[in-house]
């Protein structure tokens, strides 16, 4: 079974994709897209370290 997920705690996808796909069967897999250093409001900080913090926080 395949389930597409877009958690509400991170920004909305910026293109036609989903953040996570969960596949269940005999095993359970969770595949995640790459994360952009963007906050929940869609702002990308100028500082690369702040972008990294956003990507890891959400």
Rounded to two decimals, what is the model's pTM?
0.57
**Are 44 and 52 spatial neighbours (Cβ–Cβ below 8 Å)?**
no
**Are 19 and 9 spatial neighbours (Cβ–Cβ below 8 Å)?**
no
Class of domain 2-57: alpha beta
Q: What is the pLDDT along the chain (58 residues), one digit of tens a residue?
A: 999 988 887 778 888 988 889 999 999 998 888 777 888 888 999 999 998 888 777 5
């Amino acid at each position: 079974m395949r389930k597409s997920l877009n958690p509400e705690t991170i920004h909305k996808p910026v293109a036609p994709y989903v953040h996570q796909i969960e596949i269940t069967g005999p095993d359970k897999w969770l595949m995640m897209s790459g994360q952009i250093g963007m906050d929940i409001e869609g702002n990308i900080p100028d500082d690369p370290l702040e972008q990294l913090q956003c990507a890891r926080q959400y």
